[in-house]
Structure 1
Amino acid sequence: MRRLSLWMRAHPVVGDTLIAGLLGLPDLAAAGANLADTPRGVYLIVGLFLWGPLIFRRARPKLTSNIILVAGFVQLVTHNVVHGPYGEIEGVPVRPADFALGIALYTMVAYVGRRQGAIYAAWLLLGTVLWEVWRIQDPPEVVLTFFMIICIFGFCWAVGEFVGARRQLNAELLERLKLLEVERDQQARIAVAEERSRIARELHDVVAHAVSVMVVQADGASYALQSDPQMAQMALTTISDTGRQALGELRRLLGLMRNETQSETERLPQPDTNALPQLAEQVRTAGLPVTLTLRGDLNDLPAGVGLSVYRIVQEALTNSLKHAGGSASADVFVTRADDKIEVVVDDDGFGTPRELSGMSGGNGLIGMRERAGVLGGSLEAGPRPGGGWRVHAVLPVGAAQGPLV
């Protein structure tokens, strides 16, 4: 039954044709009855215009309802009713096709609107009064038939109100579903954009750090190639290890960019505060003396906070390695106090105004600030009063349970 109901809803003309047939067949059968002075051809034509338009009532509700109304008034004028000497009525005062007027009223209320339905009901009421006074005439019969017709039209109006409200509700629900689909698509696009932004920051951090270390080591190897071959060999080994590590991270990030399906065991773990000693040693090998100081419990940090601390320290040391000068050193302090982590990276180097302005306006500092801002923290960077450069970040711990950024 449910499948039949869905099919009928998808093909409304079929159901409306059945309704028209249920009214048309008895109406045609009544054509053989006593029609008084009503021409049989007029009777058939008027009947056709009463029940025939019902086939298209949902496709063109206003037009078909008005055709049925006009046919009703034509019936009022053309269908003769004769009253006998004993009160009997000859002719067809009411025909089966007249129920199409009630269906038309229902159609106007449900498919066009309450205002148009009220106007249509007023015309029906006018035609009913004229029919009662002109054709029925007998007062008791007038009262009885008028009450029955008003009940029928009232029932049709009530059903039309109910169905119209359901259709309006369904239309609103459908519109909301469309809006939800649009919002879902927008959220998906926003999520993709955020993920691509995250991957871009990761790529920047990885490439900038690795290339800076490799450039410094390559320069050192070129100077030591003749005088100290062993030192040159160590520098080349550092370049090779740094390049392999960078290639591994780039492969992982580019795989995410291509949406490759990887199992968790195939993905390299994200660095966190536990990797800071290794990072400091790598920067020391590259030629920048680094002192690392860790305070507080840094083992149970949320993944997003641990990654952000690592990337901020990495970017700050990379900038010191590039801009601080050959005789500079750096101090890194990572301190956890209650529900926040404070990261301070100081160097005592020097940089030309062009270098400093380039760093302050570069993507590295922007990326560090974005990382801190996403977690609800803050980051300040600028020259130190006594010389050198300072990066100072404060990150909340409790607010960072979201994705790695």
Structure 2
Amino acid sequence: MKAHPMVGDSLVAALLGIIDLLLFVGRQAGDPAFAPPAWYVTAPLMIGAVVPLAFRRRYPIVVAYVVLAVSIPHSWFEIGFAGLVGFGIALYTLVAYVNRRHALLYVVANVVVSAVQLPMQLDGTAAMVAGVVTGVGVTAFCWVLGEFVGARRAYQAEVEARLHLLETERDQQATIAVAAERARIARELHDVVAHAVSVIVVQADGAAYAVRSQPELTERAIKTISATGREALTELRRLLGVLRSERADEERTPQPGTRSLAELAERFRAVGLPVRLEVVGAIDDLPAGVGLGIYRIVQEALTNCLKHAGPGASAVVRVERRADKVELTVLDDGVTGSRALVGVSGGNGLIGMRERAHVFGGTLQAGPHPGGGWRVRAVLPVGSG
């Protein structure tokens, strides 16, 4: 019925028409003084009083005034009570489905019609009072019922609108979360692959130059390439395991953090980049996310130094813990020309470092140092407690 309201309205109209017909036939048989008009007048009036009610929700205003117009001769010939009931149903529909203004105009129109018709049709004060009381009662009941149903419909519409809004917000949040996760995975992949490939390329170039003159140096370079490749494969397997697994509590390989900075510096020294690590304050108790961010920023900065600083360059990594923040500086003394172009074009490495800093509400600056070389400086808030 809710999916097809016209079916229910048609059944109501048919039931009302049948009852009206039965009352008409019963009165005609039991009251010899009752003299109705001919059937070709009575039948259209009985049909016209109930058929429009089947369309009351689709055309509520038109149906209301059609019912009012038909109820005038229907009541005048005393065919039945379908005119009064039809008025009540039409008034209820206007209040519940249209608005109070149209409903009030409809009531005024009916009052005008009744004020003209009742004195002409009814004899005696008692009959007049009974007719007025009946009309007022039907009007009040149908108006109150329409207000109740209209309020429920408005509440249901508001609830549905809110649910739709919540579903839209949920879909948008899911889209944002997916985009953020993709960006995080992209940063992790870039950090792992870029670092490993840079080290492998540098060591492979060195091995190619020294393969005949310095076999021991070539052997060490090949071992470094092997170790770096294995480490990169381990990191990639960890990332792929996170993506494939549906279990959030599954045991994972520990993420690197500030405790791994010394090992990271040692690996870069082994591939030919002298790195001096300076740590001021306690950094081992930093949150895991902040520690990973610091590690990845240092890793990317040293990778860029290894790729672009030129031969003979060295780097200084300084990590200083203050009360409510961590200041990180990576400074090298290499050439700056090629890296200046990278900084202008917005390379993925610089973008990734800035994104990592912004995730924690921090800032990152990268560019040529006034005293020579290249400097990366990041400030990450960590709170005082």
TM normalised by structure 1 equals 0.85
**Equivalent of 2:22 in 19, 25, 29:** 29
Aligned position for 2:31: none
Kindly indicate whether residue 32 of structure 2 is the aligned counterpart of residue 47 of structure 1. no
SS at match of 2:212: helix
Deviations 1:380-399 (A, max 9, x none): 22222322122111101139
Contact persistence 2:93–2:146 (CA under 8 A)? yes
When the two chains are superposed, the root-mean-square deviation of aligned CA atoms in Å is 2.4
Q: Distance in 2 between matches of 1:70 and 1:254?
A: 76
Kindly indicate whether residue 95 of structure 2 is the aligned counterpart of residue 115 of structure 1. no
Shift >4 Å, 4+ stretches: 254-257
Name the amino acid aligned to 1:57: R
In structure 2, do the counterparts of structure 1 residues 382 and 370 end up closer, same or farther at CA, with 3 Å as the change threshold?
same
Structure 1 residue 185, shift from structure 2 partner:
0.9
Kindly indicate whether residue 86 of structure 2 is the aligned counterpart of residue 100 of structure 1. yes
Structure 1 residue 262, shift from structure 2 partner:
5.4
In structure 2, do the counterparts of structure 1 residues 93 and 53 end up closer, same or farther at CA, with 3 Å as the change threshold?
closer
**Equivalent of 1:19 in 9, 12, 26:** 12
Structure 1 residue 253, shift from structure 2 partner:
3.5
Matches within 5 A, 1:190-269: 190-254=176-240, 261=246, 264-265=249-250, 267-269=252-254
Which consecutive residues of structure 2, in runs of 5 or more, have no partner in the other structure?
A: 29-33
Structure 1 residue 189, shift from structure 2 partner:
0.9
SS at match of 1:152: helix
Deviations 1:155-204 (A, max 9, x none): 21121122112212211221121122112111111111111112222222
Q: Distance in 2 between matches of 1:191 and 1:40?
A: 73
Q: Distance in 2 between matches of 1:130 and 1:247?
A: 96
Decide which moves more: 23-32 or 92-101: 92-101
Q: Distance in 1 between matches of 2:184 and 2:56?
A: 57
Q: Distance in 1 between matches of 2:242 and 2:70?
A: 71
Kindly indicate whether residue 286 of structure 2 is the aligned counterpart of residue 293 of structure 1. no
In structure 2, do the counterparts of structure 1 residues 62 and 253 end up closer, same or farther at CA, with 3 Å as the change threshold?
farther
In structure 2, do the counterparts of structure 1 residues 202 and 142 end up closer, same or farther at CA, with 3 Å as the change threshold?
same
Aligned position for 2:362: 377
Deviations 1:284-322 (A, max 9, x none): 111101111223222332222111101110111111111
In structure 2, do the counterparts of structure 1 residues 47 and 274 end up closer, same or farther at CA, with 3 Å as the change threshold?
same
In structure 2, do the counterparts of structure 1 residues 55 and 331 end up closer, same or farther at CA, with 3 Å as the change threshold?
same
In structure 2, do the counterparts of structure 1 residues 331 and 112 end up closer, same or farther at CA, with 3 Å as the change threshold?
same
Kindly indicate whether residue 147 of structure 2 is the aligned counterpart of residue 148 of structure 1. no
Aligned position for 1:84: none
In structure 2, do the counterparts of structure 1 residues 256 and 115 end up closer, same or farther at CA, with 3 Å as the change threshold?
farther
Which consecutive residues of structure 1, in runs of 5 or more, have no partner in the other structure?
A: 1-7, 81-91, 400-405
Aligned position for 2:57: 58
**Equivalent of 1:358 in 342, 346, 358:** 342
Contact persistence 2:319–2:326 (CA under 8 A)? yes
Deviations 1:43-100 (A, max 9, x none): 3321222223333433443343333222213325xx34xxxxxxxxxxx275255212
SS at match of 2:127: helix
Name the amino acid aligned to 1:357: L
Structure 1 residue 37, shift from structure 2 partner:
4.2
Contact persistence 1:323–1:350 (CA under 8 A)? yes
Structure 1 residue 226, shift from structure 2 partner:
1.2
Count of matched residue pairs: 377
Name the amino acid aligned to 2:173: Q
Contact persistence 1:24–1:97 (CA under 8 A)? no
Aligned position for 1:3: none
Structure 1 residue 255, shift from structure 2 partner:
5.7
Contact persistence 2:323–2:383 (CA under 8 A)? no
Aligned position for 1:321: 306
Structure 1 residue 135, shift from structure 2 partner:
0.8
Aligned position for 1:9: 2
SS at match of 2:113: helix
Aligned position for 1:176: 162
Deviations 1:216-264 (A, max 9, x none): 111111122112222211211111221222233234445656x653565
Identity %: 52
Q: Distance in 1 between matches of 2:172 and 2:106?
A: 45
In structure 2, do the counterparts of structure 1 residues 262 and 210 end up closer, same or farther at CA, with 3 Å as the change threshold?
farther
In structure 2, do the counterparts of structure 1 residues 287 and 264 end up closer, same or farther at CA, with 3 Å as the change threshold?
farther
Structure 1 residue 367, shift from structure 2 partner:
1.8
Structure 1 residue 22, shift from structure 2 partner:
4.3
